[in-house]
Amino acid sequence: MHQAPRAIKFMKITIALLSIFNLSNIGSLKAEEILRIGAIPDQNPEHLNRLYKVLSSELSEQLNIQVRYKPVTNYAAAVTAFRTGNLDLVWFGALTGLQARLQTKGSKVIAQRDIDEKFHSIFIANKKSSIQKINNINDLKTLKGKRFTFGSESSTSGRLMPQYFLNKAGVQLKDFKGASPGFSGSHDATLMLVQSGSYEAGALSEEVWKRNLERGRVDPSKVFVIWKTPSYHNYHWLAQGNLDKKFKKGFTKELTKVFLRFNEKSKKQKQILELFSAKKFIISKNENYNKIEKVAREIGKIK
């Protein structure tokens, strides 16, 4: 006689517990969202892994969310991962950022380093070549017939802008020895290939050159800088347009502010800035890359 009421009571308690459990799950979904960050592999993997491990930790602490770094194999993979939504926030060069943004509706440039406002590429040469220092852009034509290498095919500072200035001097890709230049894959690789003599000259990021110089990886008896380009806007953080919906209203603005607050008083933030070769991050916007887009269309990197 008493079993039916007990069963009903048991069912009510079970339903109540399940409701609480489900509500708890729903409430925690937002908190469990992960900010997936990435970067173009423009430098050696050891440096990138060290940088993005500490950056992920700091962003997670500042934003109170999980942050995960997802490395990619090449520049094109970074663009694809952003376009397909597999990465939320990516550290792009100017060209790859532009390619990703044009393919991803609503995406937005949010910040860059202080050094990216006036970025330079440098041209280097092996000392056993007959190449001399260049004082005038038109003298880039002395590189005709030389063994020359760029970095990645989609690199802004290692290919796009160097090719743009070479073209202005009347040097076409077919003018290099072998009727085409090399593509080393990264700035570090370009330096090593020119230093070893595999190529007589090459172009790379001035920032990467300086860092290798500071760390004793440059042998001045073998390689030297022959020319520095005029300045242009380069690297930046590109964010998906749906982050406010994914996390919470105002998240993108909060994320931007975290980067802008990075300073050398914090031990971890100082380490991040040093690994980025920057004093600070500054605000940036899509329009800063209009000139890069014009050059990319001229050269055919954007159709």
Judged on CB neighbours under 10 Å (0-12, 13-18, 19+), 122 is buried
51 and 140 inside one domain: no
pLDDT at 77 over 70: yes
Domain contains 16: no
Does any domain span residue 292?
Answer: no
pLDDT exceeds cutoff 80 at 81: yes
DSSP 237: E
Q: Does 105 lie in the same domain as 127?
A: no
* pLDDT value, residue 106: 97
C-alpha distances (whole Å) from 177 to each of 64, 123, 142, 170, 193 are 54, 17, 12, 16, 15
71 with 112, same domain: the answer is: yes
Signed CA dihedral, 201, 155, 42, 74: sign only: negative
Based on the domain organization, do 246 and 109 belong to the same domain? yes
Closest CA to 103 of 288, 232, 238: 238
Q: Copy the structure tokens of residue 39.
A: 């970067």
Whether residue 141 contacts residue 169, with contact meaning beta carbons closer than 8 Å, is answered with yes
| pLDDT over threshold 90, residue 241 | yes
Residue 47 confidence (pLDDT) above 80: yes
- Pair (214, 137) in one structural domain: yes
Count up the domains in the chain and report the number: 2
pLDDT > 90 fraction of the chain, expressed in percent and rounded: 84
**191 in the same domain as 55:** no
Indicate if 249 and 111 belong to the same structural domain: yes
pLDDT at 83: 97
Q: How confident is the model at residue 9 (pLDDT cuts 50, 70, 90)?
A: low
Any domain includes 18: no
Structure-block tokens of residue 174: 């077919």
Q: How confident is the model at residue 7 (pLDDT cuts 50, 70, 90)?
A: low
| Main-chain dihedrals φ then ψ at residue 141, nearest 5 degrees | -65, -15
Which residues lie across from 301 on neighbouring strands?
none
Same domain, 107 and 248: yes
**Quick check: 15 pLDDT over 80?**
no
pLDDT at position 96 over 60: yes
Q: For the whole model, what pTM was predicted?
A: 0.80
- Which of 209, 228, 247 is at the close of a domain? 228
Flag whether pLDDT at 24 surpasses 70.
no
Q: Which pLDDT belongs to residue 57?
A: 97
pLDDT at 262 over 50: yes
Q: Helix H segments across the chain?
A: 3-32, 45-63, 75-83, 94-102, 161-168, 187-196, 206-214, 243-246, 251-261, 267-275, 290-299
Instruction: Look at 36 and 300; give whichever has higher pLDDT.
Output: 36
Structure tokens at 298: 């001229």
The mean pLDDT of 64-69, rounded to a whole number, is 96
Residue 155 resides in a domain? yes
Q: Which pLDDT value is given to residue 74?
A: 93
Q: Are residues 112 and 241 in the same domain?
A: yes
* Residue percentage of the chain with pLDDT more than 70: 90
The band of 45, judged by pLDDT with boundaries at 50, 70 and 90, is confident
| 24 in a structural domain | no
Structure tokens at 64: 């109170």
User: Is residue 26 pLDDT above 80, yes or no?
Assistant: no
Q: Which amino acid is at 240?
A: Q
Task: Give the structural domain span for 83.
Answer: 35-116+234-287
Residue 168 clears pLDDT 60, i.e. is over it? yes
> Is 10 part of a structural domain of the chain?
no
Residue 51 belongs to some domain of the structure: yes
State residue 20's pLDDT score.
43
The pLDDT tens digits of the residues spanning 180-202 come to 999 999 999 999 999 999 999 99
Task: Kindly state whether residue 14 falls inside one of the protein's structural domains.
Answer: no
State whether 131 and 145 are in the same domain: yes
Distance of CA 84 to the CA centre of its chain: 17
Per-residue pLDDT reduced to its tens digit, 104-160:
999 999 999 999 999 999 999 999 999 999 999 999 999 999 999 999 998 999 999
Up-side HSE of residue 116: CA atoms within 13 Å toward CB?
Answer: 26
CA distance 107 to 109: 7
Quick one: pLDDT band at residue 56, thresholds 50, 70, 90? Answer: very high
- Structure token pair of residue 212: 């290798």
CATH number at residue 221: 3.40.190.10
Together in a domain, 192 and 131: yes
pLDDT at 214: 92
Tell whether 105 and 253 lie within a shared domain: yes
Domain boundary among 213, 228, 243: 228
| Contacts for 158-161: CB closer than 8 Å, 24+ residues apart | 158/42, 158/121, 158/184, 158/186, 158/187, 158/190, 158/203, 158/204, 158/205, 159/183, 159/203, 160/94, 160/95, 160/292, 160/295, 160/296, 160/299, 160/301, 161/121, 161/229, 161/232, 161/295
